[in-house]
Chain A
Amino acid sequence: MAETAIRFSGVNKWFGKLHVLREINLAIGAGEVVVVCGPSGSGKSTLIRTVNGLERVQGGDVVVLGESIARRGVNLPALRTRVGMVFQSFNLFPHMTALENIMLAPMKVKRVARPEAEKLARALLERVGLREKAANYPANLSGGQQQRVAIARALAMQPRIMLFDEPTSALDPEMINEVLDVMTSLAREGMTMMCVTHEMGFARRVAHRVVFMDEGQVVEEGTPDEFFRAPKSDRGKQFLSKILTH
Protein backbone atom coordinates (compact mmCIF):
# COMPACT_ATOMS: atom_id res chain seq x y z
CA MET A 1 0.00 0.00 0.00
CA ALA A 2 1.30 3.38 -0.95
CA GLU A 3 -0.25 5.52 1.73
CA THR A 4 -0.94 4.64 5.36
CA ALA A 5 -4.40 5.55 6.63
CA ILE A 6 -4.10 4.28 10.18
CA ARG A 7 -0.91 3.39 12.03
CA PHE A 8 -0.95 1.92 15.53
CA SER A 9 2.47 2.08 17.12
CA GLY A 10 3.14 0.57 20.51
CA VAL A 11 -0.47 1.08 21.64
CA ASN A 12 -1.19 0.17 25.25
CA LYS A 13 -4.32 0.55 27.31
CA TRP A 14 -5.55 -0.61 30.69
CA PHE A 15 -9.05 -0.81 32.18
CA GLY A 16 -8.06 -0.60 35.83
CA LYS A 17 -5.64 -3.47 36.27
CA LEU A 18 -6.73 -5.24 33.10
CA HIS A 19 -4.21 -4.76 30.32
CA VAL A 20 -6.63 -4.64 27.36
CA LEU A 21 -4.24 -3.54 24.62
CA ARG A 22 -0.61 -4.71 24.72
CA GLU A 23 1.94 -3.12 22.41
CA ILE A 24 -0.24 -3.07 19.30
CA ASN A 25 1.67 -2.34 16.10
CA LEU A 26 -0.38 -2.34 12.94
CA ALA A 27 -0.66 -0.29 9.78
CA ILE A 28 -3.71 -0.05 7.54
CA GLY A 29 -3.17 1.33 4.07
CA ALA A 30 -5.46 3.67 2.17
CA GLY A 31 -8.08 1.64 0.34
CA GLU A 32 -7.36 -1.44 2.38
CA VAL A 33 -10.09 -3.55 4.00
CA VAL A 34 -8.93 -5.12 7.25
CA VAL A 35 -11.02 -7.49 9.33
CA VAL A 36 -10.12 -7.76 12.99
CA CYS A 37 -11.31 -10.95 14.66
CA GLY A 38 -10.70 -12.78 17.88
CA PRO A 39 -12.50 -14.16 20.90
CA SER A 40 -14.68 -12.00 23.09
CA GLY A 41 -12.59 -9.83 25.42
CA SER A 42 -9.57 -9.90 23.13
CA GLY A 43 -9.51 -6.09 22.86
CA LYS A 44 -10.61 -5.77 19.23
CA SER A 45 -13.49 -3.35 19.95
CA THR A 46 -11.26 -1.28 22.23
CA LEU A 47 -8.65 -1.15 19.46
CA ILE A 48 -11.06 0.11 16.80
CA ARG A 49 -12.42 2.69 19.25
CA THR A 50 -8.97 4.20 19.72
CA VAL A 51 -8.95 5.22 16.04
CA ASN A 52 -11.51 8.01 16.54
CA GLY A 53 -10.62 8.70 20.14
CA LEU A 54 -13.66 7.10 21.79
CA GLU A 55 -10.99 5.33 23.85
CA ARG A 56 -7.83 7.21 24.70
CA VAL A 57 -4.57 5.27 24.44
CA GLN A 58 -2.31 5.21 27.50
CA GLY A 59 0.88 4.29 25.74
CA GLY A 60 2.03 4.60 22.15
CA ASP A 61 0.09 6.45 19.47
CA VAL A 62 -2.42 6.03 16.69
CA VAL A 63 -1.79 8.17 13.65
CA VAL A 64 -4.93 8.59 11.57
CA LEU A 65 -4.67 10.31 8.18
CA GLY A 66 -1.44 11.89 9.35
CA GLU A 67 -2.89 13.13 12.65
CA SER A 68 -1.66 11.84 15.98
CA ILE A 69 -4.60 10.94 18.19
CA ALA A 70 -2.55 10.86 21.40
CA ARG A 71 -1.21 14.36 20.91
CA ARG A 72 -2.36 16.92 23.48
CA GLY A 73 -4.90 19.31 22.01
CA VAL A 74 -5.76 17.08 19.05
CA ASN A 75 -8.93 18.35 17.39
CA LEU A 76 -11.04 15.22 17.72
CA PRO A 77 -14.27 16.61 16.20
CA ALA A 78 -12.37 17.64 13.07
CA LEU A 79 -10.66 14.28 12.79
CA ARG A 80 -13.91 12.41 13.37
CA THR A 81 -15.54 14.07 10.36
CA ARG A 82 -13.05 12.12 8.24
CA VAL A 83 -13.57 8.82 10.04
CA GLY A 84 -17.05 7.28 9.97
CA MET A 85 -18.13 4.73 12.56
CA VAL A 86 -20.86 2.10 12.59
CA PHE A 87 -21.81 0.54 15.92
CA GLN A 88 -23.15 -2.83 16.98
CA SER A 89 -26.29 -1.21 18.43
CA PHE A 90 -27.01 1.02 15.38
CA ASN A 91 -27.42 4.11 17.57
CA LEU A 92 -29.80 5.97 15.31
CA PHE A 93 -31.27 8.96 17.12
CA PRO A 94 -34.80 7.88 18.07
CA HIS A 95 -36.41 11.33 17.83
CA MET A 96 -35.38 11.86 14.22
CA THR A 97 -36.51 10.23 10.99
CA ALA A 98 -34.05 8.22 8.91
CA LEU A 99 -33.56 11.24 6.67
CA GLU A 100 -32.99 13.63 9.58
CA ASN A 101 -30.48 11.23 11.13
CA ILE A 102 -28.41 11.40 7.95
CA MET A 103 -28.78 15.17 7.50
CA LEU A 104 -27.76 16.09 11.04
CA ALA A 105 -23.96 15.98 10.86
CA PRO A 106 -23.58 17.59 7.39
CA MET A 107 -25.83 20.46 8.50
CA LYS A 108 -24.44 20.98 11.99
CA VAL A 109 -20.77 20.17 11.45
CA LYS A 110 -20.15 21.11 7.82
CA ARG A 111 -22.85 23.82 7.69
CA VAL A 112 -24.32 22.36 4.52
CA ALA A 113 -27.61 24.08 3.62
CA ARG A 114 -30.78 22.06 4.29
CA PRO A 115 -31.84 21.42 0.66
CA GLU A 116 -28.36 20.23 -0.22
CA ALA A 117 -28.14 18.05 2.90
CA GLU A 118 -31.51 16.54 2.06
CA LYS A 119 -30.45 15.77 -1.49
CA LEU A 120 -27.31 14.09 -0.20
CA ALA A 121 -29.27 12.13 2.41
CA ARG A 122 -31.80 10.89 -0.16
CA ALA A 123 -29.00 9.79 -2.47
CA LEU A 124 -27.39 7.86 0.40
CA LEU A 125 -30.69 6.22 1.35
CA GLU A 126 -31.07 5.18 -2.28
CA ARG A 127 -27.58 3.74 -2.19
CA VAL A 128 -28.35 1.54 0.84
CA GLY A 129 -31.65 0.54 -0.75
CA LEU A 130 -33.97 2.43 1.60
CA ARG A 131 -35.26 5.27 -0.55
CA GLU A 132 -38.86 4.74 0.56
CA LYS A 133 -37.99 4.73 4.28
CA ALA A 134 -36.83 8.37 4.48
CA ALA A 135 -39.71 9.46 6.71
CA ASN A 136 -39.60 6.44 9.02
CA TYR A 137 -38.47 6.76 12.61
CA PRO A 138 -35.87 4.22 13.78
CA ALA A 139 -38.50 2.39 15.84
CA ASN A 140 -40.36 1.62 12.62
CA LEU A 141 -37.37 0.09 10.86
CA SER A 142 -36.02 -3.44 11.18
CA GLY A 143 -32.57 -3.98 12.66
CA GLY A 144 -31.02 -4.48 9.24
CA GLN A 145 -32.68 -1.34 7.91
CA GLN A 146 -31.53 0.66 10.94
CA GLN A 147 -27.97 -0.46 10.43
CA ARG A 148 -28.10 0.47 6.73
CA VAL A 149 -29.34 3.94 7.71
CA ALA A 150 -26.49 4.11 10.23
CA ILE A 151 -24.01 3.35 7.45
CA ALA A 152 -25.61 6.03 5.26
CA ARG A 153 -25.38 8.45 8.18
CA ALA A 154 -21.66 7.76 8.60
CA LEU A 155 -21.10 8.15 4.84
CA ALA A 156 -22.87 11.52 4.81
CA MET A 157 -19.72 13.15 6.15
CA GLN A 158 -17.79 11.72 3.17
CA PRO A 159 -15.22 10.06 5.41
CA ARG A 160 -11.89 8.72 4.20
CA ILE A 161 -12.03 5.79 6.61
CA MET A 162 -14.95 3.68 7.85
CA LEU A 163 -14.85 1.82 11.15
CA PHE A 164 -17.27 -1.04 11.73
CA ASP A 165 -17.56 -2.31 15.31
CA GLU A 166 -19.41 -5.65 15.11
CA PRO A 167 -22.01 -4.21 12.72
CA THR A 168 -24.00 -7.43 12.37
CA SER A 169 -23.73 -8.89 15.88
CA ALA A 170 -27.09 -7.49 17.01
CA LEU A 171 -28.95 -8.59 13.89
CA ASP A 172 -31.25 -11.51 13.21
CA PRO A 173 -29.57 -13.94 10.81
CA GLU A 174 -31.83 -13.09 7.87
CA MET A 175 -30.84 -9.42 8.08
CA ILE A 176 -27.09 -9.89 8.21
CA ASN A 177 -26.63 -10.15 4.47
CA GLU A 178 -28.37 -6.89 3.59
CA VAL A 179 -25.83 -5.10 5.80
CA LEU A 180 -22.86 -7.10 4.54
CA ASP A 181 -23.91 -6.35 0.95
CA VAL A 182 -23.71 -2.61 1.63
CA MET A 183 -20.32 -3.07 3.27
CA THR A 184 -19.09 -5.17 0.36
CA SER A 185 -20.06 -2.58 -2.22
CA LEU A 186 -18.35 0.07 -0.13
CA ALA A 187 -15.18 -2.01 -0.08
CA ARG A 188 -15.35 -2.49 -3.85
CA GLU A 189 -15.49 1.28 -4.27
CA GLY A 190 -12.12 1.54 -2.55
CA MET A 191 -13.13 2.73 0.92
CA THR A 192 -10.55 2.20 3.64
CA MET A 193 -12.29 -0.08 6.12
CA MET A 194 -11.46 -1.49 9.52
CA CYS A 195 -14.06 -4.06 10.56
CA VAL A 196 -14.40 -5.91 13.83
CA THR A 197 -16.66 -8.79 12.90
CA HIS A 198 -17.39 -12.47 13.37
CA GLU A 199 -18.57 -12.78 9.77
CA MET A 200 -15.82 -15.01 8.43
CA GLY A 201 -17.55 -15.32 5.05
CA PHE A 202 -17.32 -11.57 4.64
CA ALA A 203 -13.68 -11.63 5.73
CA ARG A 204 -12.90 -14.30 3.17
CA ARG A 205 -14.63 -12.60 0.27
CA VAL A 206 -13.89 -8.94 0.94
CA ALA A 207 -10.96 -8.41 3.29
CA HIS A 208 -7.45 -7.79 2.03
CA ARG A 209 -6.06 -8.74 5.39
CA VAL A 210 -7.25 -10.48 8.55
CA VAL A 211 -5.87 -9.51 11.94
CA PHE A 212 -6.35 -12.03 14.73
CA MET A 213 -6.29 -10.72 18.30
CA ASP A 214 -6.28 -12.49 21.65
CA GLU A 215 -5.73 -11.17 25.16
CA GLY A 216 -4.98 -7.65 23.97
CA GLN A 217 -2.34 -8.65 21.45
CA VAL A 218 -2.18 -9.01 17.71
CA VAL A 219 -1.40 -12.72 17.54
CA GLU A 220 -1.15 -12.96 13.78
CA GLU A 221 -2.12 -11.25 10.57
CA GLY A 222 -2.22 -12.31 6.97
CA THR A 223 -4.36 -12.54 3.88
CA PRO A 224 -7.74 -14.22 4.45
CA ASP A 225 -6.48 -17.15 2.43
CA GLU A 226 -3.43 -17.64 4.65
CA PHE A 227 -5.34 -17.20 7.87
CA PHE A 228 -8.31 -19.42 7.12
CA ARG A 229 -6.37 -22.15 5.33
CA ALA A 230 -3.41 -22.38 7.67
CA PRO A 231 -3.36 -20.20 10.76
CA LYS A 232 0.18 -19.85 12.07
CA SER A 233 -0.64 -19.69 15.78
CA ASP A 234 -2.22 -22.30 18.02
CA ARG A 235 -4.63 -19.72 19.39
CA GLY A 236 -5.67 -18.87 15.84
CA LYS A 237 -6.30 -22.55 15.11
CA GLN A 238 -8.35 -22.93 18.27
CA PHE A 239 -10.41 -19.84 17.48
CA LEU A 240 -11.13 -20.97 13.93
CA SER A 241 -12.10 -24.48 15.02
CA LYS A 242 -14.59 -22.97 17.46
CA ILE A 243 -16.28 -20.57 15.06
CA LEU A 244 -16.18 -22.60 11.87
CA THR A 245 -17.59 -25.87 13.20
CA HIS A 246 -21.13 -24.75 13.80
Chain B
Amino acid sequence: MNYAFKWSVLWSGQSGAWLLQGLITTLELSAVAWLIAVALGILSGALRTVPFRPLRWLATFYVEFFRNVPLLVWMFFWYFAVPPLLPRPAQDWVFNHGAEFWAGTAALGVYHGARMSEVIRSGIGAIPRTQFEASVAMGLTTFQAYRLVILPVALRLIVPPGTNESLNLLKNSSVALTISVAELTFQTRQIETYTAKAIEALTAGTLIYLVLCLSIATIMARVERAYAIPGLISRTQAG
Protein backbone atom coordinates (compact mmCIF):
# COMPACT_ATOMS: atom_id res chain seq x y z
CA MET B 1 0.00 0.00 0.00
CA ASN B 2 1.57 3.25 -1.00
CA TYR B 3 -1.28 5.64 -0.16
CA ALA B 4 -0.04 8.53 1.94
CA PHE B 5 -2.66 9.53 4.47
CA LYS B 6 -2.94 13.24 5.04
CA TRP B 7 -5.78 13.86 7.48
CA SER B 8 -4.85 17.50 7.79
CA VAL B 9 -6.62 18.19 4.48
CA LEU B 10 -9.83 18.08 6.50
CA TRP B 11 -9.00 21.13 8.56
CA SER B 12 -6.60 23.01 6.34
CA GLY B 13 -7.72 25.36 3.62
CA GLN B 14 -11.45 25.60 3.08
CA SER B 15 -12.32 21.99 3.92
CA GLY B 16 -13.66 22.70 7.35
CA ALA B 17 -15.92 25.48 6.11
CA TRP B 18 -17.14 23.29 3.28
CA LEU B 19 -17.98 20.39 5.58
CA LEU B 20 -19.83 22.71 7.93
CA GLN B 21 -21.75 24.28 5.04
CA GLY B 22 -22.58 20.82 3.74
CA LEU B 23 -23.76 19.66 7.14
CA ILE B 24 -26.00 22.70 7.54
CA THR B 25 -27.50 22.24 4.07
CA THR B 26 -28.10 18.53 4.71
CA LEU B 27 -29.86 19.38 7.97
CA GLU B 28 -32.00 22.11 6.40
CA LEU B 29 -32.89 20.00 3.39
CA SER B 30 -33.76 16.98 5.55
CA ALA B 31 -35.71 18.97 8.14
CA VAL B 32 -37.96 20.72 5.63
CA ALA B 33 -38.40 17.53 3.59
CA TRP B 34 -39.19 15.60 6.78
CA LEU B 35 -41.95 18.05 7.71
CA ILE B 36 -43.42 17.67 4.22
CA ALA B 37 -43.09 13.88 4.38
CA VAL B 38 -44.72 13.61 7.81
CA ALA B 39 -47.59 15.93 6.86
CA LEU B 40 -48.25 14.10 3.59
CA GLY B 41 -47.72 10.74 5.26
CA ILE B 42 -50.23 11.40 8.05
CA LEU B 43 -52.77 12.88 5.67
CA SER B 44 -52.58 10.17 3.01
CA GLY B 45 -52.05 7.35 5.52
CA ALA B 46 -55.21 8.39 7.35
CA LEU B 47 -57.19 8.93 4.16
CA ARG B 48 -56.41 5.39 3.03
CA THR B 49 -58.42 4.09 5.98
CA VAL B 50 -61.44 6.44 6.04
CA PRO B 51 -64.92 5.16 5.19
CA PHE B 52 -65.17 7.21 1.97
CA ARG B 53 -63.94 5.54 -1.21
CA PRO B 54 -62.92 8.53 -3.43
CA LEU B 55 -60.58 9.81 -0.72
CA ARG B 56 -59.07 6.35 -0.30
CA TRP B 57 -58.43 6.16 -4.05
CA LEU B 58 -56.84 9.58 -4.12
CA ALA B 59 -54.44 8.65 -1.30
CA THR B 60 -53.64 5.28 -2.87
CA PHE B 61 -52.84 6.98 -6.16
CA TYR B 62 -50.44 9.36 -4.42
CA VAL B 63 -48.63 6.57 -2.58
CA GLU B 64 -48.27 4.20 -5.53
CA PHE B 65 -47.30 6.93 -7.98
CA PHE B 66 -44.56 8.48 -5.88
CA ARG B 67 -43.00 5.48 -4.19
CA ASN B 68 -42.70 3.43 -7.37
CA VAL B 69 -40.43 5.81 -9.26
CA PRO B 70 -36.75 6.11 -8.21
CA LEU B 71 -35.87 9.08 -6.02
CA LEU B 72 -33.18 10.06 -8.52
CA VAL B 73 -35.81 10.42 -11.26
CA TRP B 74 -37.92 12.56 -8.93
CA MET B 75 -34.91 14.82 -8.28
CA PHE B 76 -34.57 15.45 -12.01
CA PHE B 77 -38.31 15.82 -12.39
CA TRP B 78 -38.66 18.50 -9.70
CA TYR B 79 -35.55 20.34 -10.85
CA PHE B 80 -35.86 20.21 -14.64
CA ALA B 81 -39.53 19.59 -15.36
CA VAL B 82 -41.49 21.43 -12.70
CA PRO B 83 -40.11 25.01 -12.80
CA PRO B 84 -41.03 25.57 -16.51
CA LEU B 85 -44.60 24.62 -15.62
CA LEU B 86 -44.86 27.33 -12.95
CA PRO B 87 -46.28 30.79 -13.65
CA ARG B 88 -43.65 33.38 -14.47
CA PRO B 89 -43.46 35.16 -11.06
CA ALA B 90 -43.14 31.84 -9.25
CA GLN B 91 -40.39 30.77 -11.65
CA ASP B 92 -38.46 33.95 -10.98
CA TRP B 93 -38.84 33.53 -7.26
CA VAL B 94 -37.61 29.92 -7.35
CA PHE B 95 -34.56 30.70 -9.45
CA ASN B 96 -33.64 33.62 -7.20
CA HIS B 97 -34.00 31.57 -4.04
CA GLY B 98 -31.99 28.42 -4.73
CA ALA B 99 -34.06 26.35 -7.13
CA GLU B 100 -31.86 23.29 -6.48
CA PHE B 101 -32.61 23.38 -2.78
CA TRP B 102 -36.38 23.64 -3.22
CA ALA B 103 -36.50 21.03 -5.97
CA GLY B 104 -34.45 18.67 -3.78
CA THR B 105 -36.70 19.35 -0.80
CA ALA B 106 -39.85 18.70 -2.82
CA ALA B 107 -38.46 15.50 -4.34
CA LEU B 108 -37.31 14.15 -0.98
CA GLY B 109 -40.43 15.23 0.92
CA VAL B 110 -43.03 14.00 -1.54
CA TYR B 111 -41.21 10.70 -2.19
CA HIS B 112 -40.73 9.92 1.50
CA GLY B 113 -44.27 11.13 2.26
CA ALA B 114 -45.51 8.25 0.13
CA ARG B 115 -43.33 5.81 2.07
CA MET B 116 -44.26 7.38 5.43
CA SER B 117 -47.89 6.99 4.43
CA GLU B 118 -47.54 3.21 4.41
CA VAL B 119 -45.94 3.27 7.85
CA ILE B 120 -48.79 5.35 9.25
CA ARG B 121 -51.44 3.26 7.52
CA SER B 122 -49.99 0.14 9.14
CA GLY B 123 -50.12 1.88 12.51
CA ILE B 124 -53.78 2.74 12.02
CA GLY B 125 -54.40 -0.82 10.82
CA ALA B 126 -53.08 -2.13 14.14
CA ILE B 127 -55.85 -0.31 16.05
CA PRO B 128 -59.06 -2.30 16.48
CA ARG B 129 -61.93 -0.91 14.40
CA THR B 130 -64.02 -0.75 17.57
CA GLN B 131 -61.85 2.13 18.83
CA PHE B 132 -63.13 4.19 15.92
CA GLU B 133 -66.68 3.04 16.60
CA ALA B 134 -66.41 3.96 20.26
CA SER B 135 -65.18 7.41 19.26
CA VAL B 136 -67.99 8.21 16.86
CA ALA B 137 -70.57 6.54 19.10
CA MET B 138 -70.08 9.32 21.66
CA GLY B 139 -70.65 12.04 19.08
CA LEU B 140 -67.18 12.76 17.72
CA THR B 141 -67.05 13.38 13.97
CA THR B 142 -64.84 11.15 11.82
CA PHE B 143 -62.27 13.95 11.68
CA GLN B 144 -62.28 14.33 15.48
CA ALA B 145 -62.03 10.58 15.96
CA TYR B 146 -58.89 10.51 13.82
CA ARG B 147 -57.39 13.62 15.37
CA LEU B 148 -58.07 12.76 19.01
CA VAL B 149 -57.97 8.98 19.15
CA ILE B 150 -56.84 7.09 16.04
CA LEU B 151 -53.81 9.16 15.03
CA PRO B 152 -52.45 9.79 18.55
CA VAL B 153 -52.45 6.03 19.16
CA ALA B 154 -51.16 5.16 15.67
CA LEU B 155 -48.29 7.66 15.88
CA ARG B 156 -47.18 6.17 19.18
CA LEU B 157 -47.19 2.71 17.63
CA ILE B 158 -45.12 3.65 14.60
CA VAL B 159 -42.20 5.41 16.28
CA PRO B 160 -39.70 2.58 15.46
CA PRO B 161 -40.56 2.19 11.73
CA GLY B 162 -41.11 5.95 11.52
CA THR B 163 -37.57 6.50 12.86
CA ASN B 164 -36.25 4.05 10.27
CA GLU B 165 -37.99 5.96 7.52
CA SER B 166 -36.74 9.29 8.85
CA LEU B 167 -33.14 8.02 8.82
CA ASN B 168 -33.65 6.87 5.24
CA LEU B 169 -34.81 10.36 4.36
CA LEU B 170 -31.74 11.93 5.94
CA LYS B 171 -29.40 9.56 4.10
CA ASN B 172 -31.28 9.95 0.82
CA SER B 173 -30.80 13.72 1.01
CA SER B 174 -27.36 12.93 -0.48
CA VAL B 175 -29.09 12.16 -3.78
CA ALA B 176 -29.73 15.90 -4.07
CA LEU B 177 -26.09 16.35 -5.06
CA THR B 178 -27.15 15.20 -8.54
CA ILE B 179 -29.04 18.46 -8.97
CA SER B 180 -26.15 20.42 -7.43
CA VAL B 181 -27.45 20.97 -3.94
CA ALA B 182 -24.29 21.67 -1.95
CA GLU B 183 -25.09 19.25 0.85
CA LEU B 184 -22.69 17.09 2.83
CA THR B 185 -21.86 14.47 0.19
CA PHE B 186 -21.46 17.20 -2.42
CA GLN B 187 -18.93 18.92 -0.17
CA THR B 188 -16.92 15.77 0.54
CA ARG B 189 -16.67 15.25 -3.22
CA GLN B 190 -15.46 18.83 -3.49
CA ILE B 191 -12.74 18.29 -0.89
CA GLU B 192 -11.67 15.18 -2.74
CA THR B 193 -11.50 17.09 -6.02
CA TYR B 194 -9.37 19.84 -4.53
CA THR B 195 -7.04 17.66 -2.43
CA ALA B 196 -7.11 14.28 -4.22
CA LYS B 197 -7.56 12.71 -0.79
CA ALA B 198 -10.61 10.48 -1.30
CA ILE B 199 -10.26 8.32 1.81
CA GLU B 200 -9.96 11.28 4.17
CA ALA B 201 -12.86 13.16 2.58
CA LEU B 202 -15.18 10.17 2.52
CA THR B 203 -14.25 9.20 6.06
CA ALA B 204 -15.26 12.65 7.25
CA GLY B 205 -18.59 12.40 5.42
CA THR B 206 -19.22 8.88 6.69
CA LEU B 207 -18.56 9.82 10.30
CA ILE B 208 -20.79 12.86 10.14
CA TYR B 209 -23.70 10.82 8.71
CA LEU B 210 -23.13 8.13 11.30
CA VAL B 211 -23.15 10.56 14.23
CA LEU B 212 -26.24 12.33 12.86
CA CYS B 213 -28.22 9.12 12.43
CA LEU B 214 -27.17 7.62 15.75
CA SER B 215 -28.18 10.84 17.54
CA ILE B 216 -31.59 10.82 15.89
CA ALA B 217 -32.09 7.13 16.71
CA THR B 218 -31.18 7.80 20.35
CA ILE B 219 -33.55 10.75 20.62
CA MET B 220 -36.37 8.75 19.01
CA ALA B 221 -35.85 5.86 21.41
CA ARG B 222 -36.40 8.35 24.24
CA VAL B 223 -39.48 9.75 22.54
CA GLU B 224 -40.79 6.22 22.19
CA ARG B 225 -40.39 5.55 25.89
CA ALA B 226 -41.82 8.91 26.93
CA TYR B 227 -44.96 8.45 24.86
CA ALA B 228 -45.36 4.70 25.20
CA ILE B 229 -48.93 3.58 25.71
CA PRO B 230 -49.14 1.99 29.15
CA GLY B 231 -49.53 -1.76 28.96
CA LEU B 232 -48.09 -2.25 25.49
CA ILE B 233 -45.13 -4.57 25.04
CA SER B 234 -42.99 -1.91 23.38
CA ARG B 235 -42.50 -0.09 26.67
CA THR B 236 -40.35 -2.84 28.11
CA GLN B 237 -38.50 -3.45 24.85
CA ALA B 238 -37.58 0.12 23.98
CA GLY B 239 -33.97 1.12 24.44
- List the interface of chain A (C-beta within 8 A of B): 52, 54, 76-78, 80-81, 83-85, 87, 89, 91, 93-95, 104-105, 108-109, 137-140, 150, 153-154, 156-157
Contacts and interface: CB of A to CB of B under 8 A. Distances in A.
24 contacts: A54-B136, A76-B136, A77-B139, A78-B139, A80-B136, A80-B137, A83-B137, A89-B128, A89-B130, A91-B134, A93-B134, A93-B135, A93-B149, A94-B153, A94-B230, A94-B232, A104-B140, A108-B144, A109-B140, A109-B144, A137-B230, A139-B230, A154-B138, A156-B138
A80 B149 CA distance: 17
B235 to A, nearest CB: 10
B168 interface: no
B231 A140 contact: yes
Contacts of B134: 85, 87, 91, 93, 150
Contact of A54 (B133, B140, B141, B230): B133
A65 to B, nearest CB: 14
A157 B139 CA distance: 9
Nearest to B127: A94
A109 B135 CA distance: 11
B132 to A, nearest CB: 9
Interface SS, B side: helix
Contact of B231 (A78, A80, A94, A105): A94
Contacts of A139: 229-232
Contacts of A104: 138, 140, 148
Q: Report, as a range, how many residues of chain B touch the other chain.
A: 20 to 34
B138 A153 contact: yes
B39 to A, nearest CB: 21
B75 to A, nearest CB: 38
A203 B232 CA distance: 36
Contacts of B135: 93
Given A77-B139, A81-B138, A140 B133 contact: no
Contacts of B229: 94-95, 137, 139
Contacts of B203: none
A85 B138 CA distance: 7
B234 interface: no
B125 interface: no
Contacts of A78: 139
Given A87-B130, A139-B229, A95 B138 contact: no
A91 B131 contact: yes
B139 A93 contact: no
B161 interface: no
B231 A137 contact: yes
A105 B153 contact: no
Q: Chain B CB within 10 Å — which of A76, A77, A87, A140 has the most?
A: A77
B156 A95 contact: yes
A85 B148 contact: no
B128 A52 contact: no
B104 to A, nearest CB: 36
Given A89-B128, A104-B148, 19 more contacts: A54-B136, A76-B136, A78-B139, A81-B138, A84-B138, A85-B134, A87-B133, A89-B130, A91-B131, A93-B149, A94-B153, A104-B138, A109-B139, A109-B144, A138-B231, A150-B134, A153-B138, A157-B138, A157-B139
A79 B66 CA distance: 41
Contacts of A93: 131, 134-135, 149, 153
